[in-house]
Amino acid sequence: MPEPSAMSRMESLLSRMHLHSICESALCPNIGQCFERNTATFLILGEICTRRCTFCAVKKGVPLPVDDREPEQLLAAVAHLRLKHVVITSVTRDDLSDGGAAFFASVVRLLLEKTQTTIEVLIPDFQGSRESLQKVAAARPHVINHNLETVPRLYPDVRPQAGYDRSLELLRRVKEFDPRIVTKSGLMLGLSETEDEVLATMRDLRKRGCDLLTLGQYLQPSASHHGIARFIHPQEFERYETAGKEMGFAAVASAPLVRSSFNAGDLYRKAKDWPQ
């Protein structure tokens, strides 16, 4: 069990610096372990999402205006925590003309200029905008992560405002813009997908040049969210990890409590050591 003081210390820091974390907003099961290690996945562009994915615990509705203080506040938090690898994500902001891409880019550039940390961004799909994605890629984060979340058959129920092919195209385009950027994606399991569907989705990712993959058990945030169809046996997670390595992923993290940002720095280092 994590020390309560560690939880309190991180919560106090985020509150004091007017920052949000996806750890808190998405009710991540690893929050205690991460906060105890003085790390968090920062949530920029506010904490209210414009989309209504049925699996996600993040607040949904009409977002507040963008807070221009966030980049400097995030810089201060990264410096205070002495992070070697920082993960930055956001709510989806379909209300913004570029989906928040320029804001992502400004945060990345500031951190690259002022710190020595490696930077991973977990981005929305920007409604398929090539120009928005290019803004983020041009800032040169070390990792661009975009989660498919589930298999194509379940998109209408689980991600009704997203598109499977659109998300795959985003990951492909990152490599087109800058092949040096590591790409990453993740899947939640237990939503009624079959093993064959998971393997087919993994192959789709590799065809688009995706380097890193995370797979974890979906946990229902509340009774009003998408139900759990089944709990995946640890041996099935092991089979996916083995299959992913055979497909050519640089690294695969596959276990019940794996989340896309958990031990992200370790996964990135495996990609950098990967003989391509």
Q: Indicate which CATH number applies to the domain containing 234.
A: 3.20.20.70
Q: Six-digit token pair at 244?
A: 């992913």
Residue 131: pLDDT band (50, 70, 90) is very high
Burial bucket for residue 2 (CB in 10 Å: 0-12, 13-18, 19+):
middle
Chain segment 206-215, per-residue pLDDT in tens: 999 999 999 9
**Alpha helices, H only, the chain:** 4-16, 22-25, 31-36, 70-81, 101-114, 130-138, 155-158, 164-177, 195-207, 234-247, 264-272
CA distance 36 to 83: 13
| pTM score, whole prediction | 0.89
Checking if the pLDDT of 33 tops 80, the result is no
Beta bridge partners of 251: 212
145: pLDDT confidence band, cut at 50, 70 and 90? very high
pLDDT tens digits, one per residue of 84-109: 888 999 998 999 999 999 999 999 99
3-state secondary structure 179-242: CCCEEEEEEEECCCCCHHHHHHHHHHHHHCCCCEEEEEECCCCCCCCCCCCCCCCHHHHHHHHH
What is the rounded CA–CA span in Å between residue 178 and residue 160?
30
Domain count, the chain: 1
Model pLDDT, residue 23: 45
pLDDT tens-digit profile of 160-193? Answer: 999 999 999 999 999 999 999 999 999 999 999 9
Distance CA 104, CA 118 (A): 15
Average pLDDT, the chain: 86
pLDDT of residue 276: 54
> Could you write out the three-class secondary structure of 4-19?
HHHHHHHHHHHHHCCC
Q: For residue 51, report the phi and psi dihedrals to the nearest 5 degrees.
A: -105, 165
Residues 119 and 108 sit within 8 Å (Cβ to Cβ): yes
Q: Which of 48, 39, 28 is nearest to 91 (CA)?
A: 48
Q: Find the angle CA(88)-CA(205)-CA(45) to the nearest 5 degrees.
A: 20
Spacing of C-alpha 51 from chain mean position: 16
Q: For 1-24, what is the mean pLDDT?
A: 57
Residue 252: which of 219, 207, 197, 212 has the closest Cα?
212
Q: Please give the residue range of the domain that contains residue 54.
A: 4-272
Measure the CA–CA gap between 41 and 160, rounded to whole angstroms: 25
Find where tokens 């930055």 sit.
88
What angle in degrees, to the nearest 10, is found between the helix axes of 130-138 and 164-177? 40
C-alpha 149/C-alpha 55 separation (Å) is 9
CA angle at 215 for the pair 81 and 162, rounded to the nearest 5°: 95
